[in-house]
Amino acid sequence: MTPERKGGGKAADKAEGAPKPKRTRARRAKATKAVKPEARVEPEAARLEPGRVHVYSLDGKPVKTVDLPDVFRSDVRDDLIRRAVTAFQANRRQPYGPSPKAGMRHSVRWSGKGHGVSRVPRIRGTMIGAQAPGTRGGRKAHPPRPDAIWAQKINEQERRLARNAALAALSDLARVQGRGHRFKEGLSLPVVIEDEIEAFAPKDGAAKAGLEVLAKLGLMADVERAKAGRHVRAGRGKMRGRRYRTPRSLLVVVKEPSTVRRTFGNLPGVEVVGPAGLNAEVLAPGGHAGRLTVFSEGALEVLRSWHA
């Protein structure tokens, strides 16, 4: 390279500005350093030992943990649950059927064979068919019988095992979510509240106060789901005093249901029962186990005397 060209290159560098500083080893290492992923915060319920749940205050804050009764360790038998629920539904059916004389109140005669007409009973003096199943105003061929027995029997041990199986499904997160229930993430199932809920009976605005408690616990979304799901019933029932159908929402289990029912019983889809009122149909409506359930601490202690 000639001196003129070398000098010209230096002048050009000065004209363009100072050269960029070289990257040091420390800066190079900092640039190529891998970014550590953020530590995942596990939900509150995931840190609990199996068989333990939080006890929440009315403000929705966990105050302590308790062990679930042994009945919650029972095997979840879907076949027994469905059989028990079917028996409950069948035993509520009322016998129905037509009057024994329905469609038979006609003065009819049969003209006999050989007249070129069908052998249908006809009203006397006319050719109008009557009384037979295929005629206008005639009887039904095979009507429902009021003496039919709809009830189904189930063994006492099977009924008890079905109840225990439905109780065990209450702590299964996948089953509760599979039923469509909506609740706050990280909530331990079943939800257990302090015994203050037993005496919670505001004088005015009881339902409004109950909604505030559910909102703090993170259960308000499920009540809204039941309210939005209210629809006109399909079939004849809409003309028989049961026009609307509401999805099932929370089940509240307390020692004194009569006191708490005023607060939660009027909310859409919410039922309030005592420990003695628990059965497979209440815990698993329609035979589908995993209902979202709220226990008071005292009601949960009652279940400790139940055998798995």
Residue 217 is part of a domain; what is its CATH number?
3.40.1370.10
Q: Are 253 and 273 in contact (CB under 8 A)?
A: yes
First to last CA, the chain: 96
| Peptide bond preceding 95 in cis form (omega within 30 of 0) | no
Return the DSSP state at 92.
Answer: T
Return the DSSP state at 60.
Answer: S
In a domain, 6, yes or no: no
In a domain, 226, yes or no: yes
- What distance in Å separates the CA atoms of residue 114 and residue 90, rounded to the nearest whole number? 51
Domain count, the chain: 1
Span 71-91, pLDDT tens digits = 999 999 999 999 999 999 999
In a domain, 64, yes or no: yes
- What distance in Å separates the CA atoms of residue 249 and residue 292, rounded to the nearest whole number? 7
**Each residue's pLDDT expressed in tens, for the chain with a length of 308 residues:** 444 444 455 544 444 555 555 555 555 545 455 555 554 444 555 477 888 999 999 999 999 999 999 999 999 999 999 999 999 999 999 999 999 999 999 999 988 888 888 999 999 999 999 999 999 999 999 999 999 999 999 999 999 999 999 999 999 999 999 999 999 998 999 999 999 999 888 888 899 999 999 999 999 999 999 999 999 999 999 999 999 999 999 999 999 999 899 999 999 999 999 999 999 999 999 999 999 999 999 999 999 998 87
Q: Which residues lie across from 244 on neighbouring strands?
A: 232
Angle CA(301)–CA(275)–CA(85) in degrees, nearest 5?
130
The structure's pTM equals: 0.77
Cα 121 from chain centroid (whole Å)? 55
In a domain, 97, yes or no: no
Residues spanned by the domain of 263: 45-92+154-230+243-305
Q: Are 274 and 255 in contact (CB under 8 A)?
A: yes
In a domain, 260, yes or no: yes
Report residue 158 as tokens: 């099977």
| Peptide bond preceding 37 in cis form (omega within 30 of 0) | no
In a domain, 280, yes or no: yes
Helix (H, G, I), strand (E, B) or coil at 294: strand
In a domain, 193, yes or no: yes
Cα 261 from chain centroid (whole Å)? 19
Q: Are 53 and 193 in contact (CB under 8 A)?
A: no
Q: Are 252 and 209 in contact (CB under 8 A)?
A: no
Q: Are 284 and 251 in contact (CB under 8 A)?
A: no
In a domain, 71, yes or no: yes
Residue type, 93: R
- What distance in Å separates the CA atoms of residue 308 and residue 306, rounded to the nearest whole number? 7
Please state the φ and ψ torsions of residue 273, each to the nearest 5 degrees: -135, 165
